[in-house]
Amino acid sequence: MMNPVRVINSSLRAKLLTMFVILTSIPLITVGLISYQKSFNTISGHSKASAMLAANRLARDIDVLFQDTGKLLELENNPQVLRFLFSQSETYADAKDILKTFELYRDIYKYENVRNITMINLYGKGISERKGVFQLDHNPMRNPHFQRLTKEPGRTLIIPPSDASPLDRLDGFTYPESDVISIMATVKQRITHEVIGFIVIDLDDSFVERFCNDVTIGDTGFFYVADPEGTPLFAPADPAKKEALRQIDWSDRKLGQTQDSFVLRQSGKPKFVVFTTSSATGWKIVGNVTLQEIVQDANEIRQLIIVSVMLSILFTITLYFFITARLTRPIQFLKNKMRQAASGYLDAKVKPAGQDEIADLGKSFNIMLEKIKALLDQSIREKELVQKAELRTLQAQINPHFLYNTLDSVVWMAEAGKKDQVIQLVQAFSRFFRISLNKGRDWISIKSELDHVQSYLIIQQIRYRDILDYEISVDGELQVFPILKMTLQPLVENALYHGIKNKRGKGMIRIGGHVEQERDIVLTVEDDGAGMSAERLAEVREGLNRQRAPDEEEDGAGGGFGLQNVHQRIRLYFGERYGVGIESAEGAGTRIFVRIPKK
């Protein structure tokens, strides 16, 4: 797996792309996160405030209703009501006066939500707006609410809706239209404060039901009214909302405060819950909705921020490619040219376009290549001149050595009176040096080189008549081609001194030549002398390509210096394909061949 850091560091384009993306994405992401957090807080706060406002509105309506309706409890102080409840007999006029009093209160306070007002004593005699005067056929004290009021005469009970009002369950009357909320209180005797009856006010609960059905939070959220323990009293009519309501568990008493909002995490999705409390009834007006709906707008803003960041990054990448086409592409092109130059191709020049720094860099690169080529050419020329000078120096070192030996032979033969041999030796010696000097030129024909070798062999044959014979056999067609001067003579000298002289008896040196592959001339110098061992042959072959130090002396025992001299001269002029090769077997002689181009 590729290392991302290594990939980024390996390319200027990758670094620029990374820098562009980072410089674009980090500010956008930072601003986006801050914007999202602020929008989330603002939207969720607005949703909480809106839901709390709706809940407070219903709580306030309930409180106002019960405060206004509570004025009807003043009827317990009406003398006619007290006389009706206290006496066992009543007159039509008393009942009519009580009903007129009910009507008077309605006219004054405009009780639109009051469905019925009922007075009843401990023995079941009562009067109400709907039924007039009535008598229960059973004991009213069996009613649990009346029992509770009897024990707590100063308390006012608010009874939530059921199938019928508390009094309806006693006398069999029900409200066909809707359920009611009942307010119950005691009626006490003025002096003794003894409970003599009860007053029951039935209120229409339709305004609470309408609120639960019509007021929503988000798309699926709803309000409902619960008792202080969390048990629903009013709920939406929608079955799905009722099912959602049944799944809420208030066992952890989260409704203990007067009002609050929180996130309820139970089964299913987290829910946002807001509630407030009616001060008149103690009921909880609770709103709940899935948390996702509350923050839906914030989530949309988050998605918008993400899309904006992605589009910005896409724009950055597009801008990057546009810029790199004008910036990094010339650099990439220059880098490729530099790699070509580093591999040895010094003609890898750049064509600068424009007047910027990259164009100046390309021009400088071209100038550098030209200077490198000039320095290389100069170095090669100087090296060739040095090598040629060294080889000429070595050649000059050979000639004096041979000169001294030959002159010694002339003196010796002159003293011995060998006139003819002296003449022959001097003539061969003259031809030898005439070709060796050759007016300072390095190139001669193969014919001249063979004449030069023959002169050398004549001189040596006179000196070593008893041990040396020679034979030169080269086609006349080859003798017209040029060859470096002093190519064959060192090889013949090696054959004489390291081959023939080291064997017993007379030896033979043969010089031949032929053409190979229509393009190469191969000249051979062969002797039947002592030859070389395999180890010595390996050393001589290895020494052919070894650079000889200027102060290194000739290896007189092995004869490697003459071979090395000729081999390096040929390679210097013609290349690696050409040079000197050697074959030898101990006791069988040595064969040296020289390969040069046919041109």
Looking at 130-144, 292-306, 320-334, 531-545, which range is the least confident one?
A: 320-334
Residue type, 104: L
Write down the mean pLDDT value for the chain: 80
Asked if the model's pLDDT at residue 573 lies above 70, the reply is yes
Cα 17 to Cα 7: distance, rounded to the nearest angstrom: 12
Average pLDDT over residues 285-311: 80
Q: What is residue 174's predicted lDDT score, i.e. its pLDDT?
A: 45
Asked if the model's pLDDT at residue 510 lies above 90, the reply is yes
Q: What is residue 514's predicted lDDT score, i.e. its pLDDT?
A: 92
- What fold does the segment set 78-204 form as a domain? Beta-Lactamase (3.30.450)
- Between 329 and 292, the higher pLDDT residue: 292
Asked if the model's pLDDT at residue 338 lies above 50, the reply is yes
Cα 487 to Cα 474: distance, rounded to the nearest angstrom: 15
Q: What is residue 198's predicted lDDT score, i.e. its pLDDT?
A: 92
- Specify which residues 132 forms β-bridges with: 128
Average pLDDT over residues 394-418: 70
Average pLDDT over residues 492-518: 88
Asked if the model's pLDDT at residue 449 lies above 80, the reply is yes
Q: Which of 590, 587, 591 is nearest to 503 (CA)?
A: 587
Contact 195, 149 (CB under 8 A): yes
Asked if the model's pLDDT at residue 165 lies above 60, the reply is no
Contact 135, 125 (CB under 8 A): yes
Q: Which of 47, 48, 66, 55 is nearest to 285 (CA)?
A: 55
Confidence of residue 597 (pLDDT cuts 50, 70, 90): very high
Q: What is residue 163's predicted lDDT score, i.e. its pLDDT?
A: 42
Average pLDDT over residues 298-323: 78
- What fold does the segment set 379-597 form as a domain? Heat Shock Protein 90 (3.30.565)
**The pTM is what?**
0.50
Torsion angle defined by CA atoms of residues 415, 419, 425 and 431, in that order, rounded to the nearest 10 degrees: 130
Cα 243 to Cα 265: distance, rounded to the nearest angstrom: 17
Name the residue ranges covered by the structural domains of the chain: 78-204, 379-597
Cα 446 to Cα 444: distance, rounded to the nearest angstrom: 7
Q: What is residue 556's predicted lDDT score, i.e. its pLDDT?
A: 41
Cα 565 to Cα 580: distance, rounded to the nearest angstrom: 10
Asked if the model's pLDDT at residue 209 lies above 70, the reply is yes
Q: Which of 443, 444, 379, 399 is nearest to 573 (CA)?
A: 443
